[in-house]
């Protein structure tokens, strides 16, 4: 049974805002200088924050894929099916990317600037992908639900 569409759209929008805040927080963590002797704590904090973010993203994708939004797009705007497929592919890409950086960060047991810089730039690349992904999704969501409401049936 699909959830109420206004609730889904509202929930997805709220989650997008929450993701933005979390990404800004993580960017702050990776942008900050690691204090002398503080690498182990920095790495653990970042690991846990990324782990939570990864789980939140997974739940967010569950909501988008299973909560009715993508079905609604296909119902209201079947010609946008390739956009839906692209979003689903990106969900996988984002998830795999986040899992990979978690693995990579765990592998950097000692403070190695070059390896840390690589992990941080990988995180940044995933965040860039998430930002464009959510933007396209918001457009699709807006046109889907506005069209649906304007349809008058
Ligand atoms: Fe998405
Ligand atoms: Fe999303």
Percent of the chain with pLDDT over 70: 92
Ligand 1 centre to CA of 81 (Å) is 14
| pLDDT in the model for residue 145 | 79
118: containing domain: 5-150
Give the span between the Cα atoms of 64 and 60, in whole angstroms: 6
Q: How does pLDDT run across 46-102, given as a tens digit for each residue?
A: 999 999 999 999 999 999 999 888 988 998 889 999 999 999 999 999 999 999 999
- Asked whether the predicted pLDDT for residue 4 surpasses 80, the reply is no
* Number of domains composing the chain: 1
The rounded Å distance from CA 9 to ligand 1 centre is 12
What is the Å distance from ligand 1's center to 138 Cα? 9
Residue with token string 């900050």: 32
144 Cα to the center of ligand 1, angstroms: 15
CATH of the domain at 114: 1.20.120
Average pLDDT, rounded, for the chain = 92
Q: How far is the CA of 132 from the centre of ligand 1 (A)?
A: 10
Q: Write down the pLDDT at residue 153.
A: 45
Sign of CA pseudo-dihedral 102, 107, 113, 117: negative
Show the DSSP H helices in 33-112 as ranges: 39-66, 69-76, 81-107
Give the closest ligand to the alpha carbon of residue 15.
Answer: 2
What is the rounded distance in angstroms from the CA atom of residue 98 to the CA atom of residue 57? Answer: 9
Residue 22 has pLDDT above 80, yes or no: yes
pLDDT range class, residue 108, cuts 50, 70, 90: very high
Ligand 1 centroid, distance to 65 Cα (angstroms): 8
- Between the CA of 5 and the centroid of ligand 1 the distance, in Å, is 16
pLDDT band at 2 (very low <50, low <70, confident <90, very high): low
Cβ neighbourhood burial of 36 (10 Å; 0-12, 13-18, 19+) = exposed
The confidence score (pLDDT) of residue 1 equals: 44
């Amino acid at each position: 049974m699909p959830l109420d569409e206004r609730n889904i759209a509202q929930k997805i929008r709220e989650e997008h805002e929450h993701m933005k805040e979390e990404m800004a927080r993580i960017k702050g963590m990776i942008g900050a200088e690691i204090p002398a002797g503080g690498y182990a704590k920095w790495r653990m904090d970042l690991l846990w924050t990324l782990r939570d973010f990864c789980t939140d993203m997974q739940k967010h994708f569950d909501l988008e894929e299973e909560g009715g939004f993508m079905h609604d797009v296909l119902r209201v705007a079947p010609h946008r099916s390739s956009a839906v497929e692209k979003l689903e592919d990106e969900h996988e890409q984002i998830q795999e990317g986040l899992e990979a950086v978690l693995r990579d960060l765990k592998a950097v047991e000692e403070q190695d600037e070059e390896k840390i810089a690589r992990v941080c730039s990988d995180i940044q690349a995933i965040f860039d992908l998430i930002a464009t992904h959510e933007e396209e999704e918001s457009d699709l969501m807006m046109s889907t639900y506005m069209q649906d409401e304007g349809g008058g049936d």
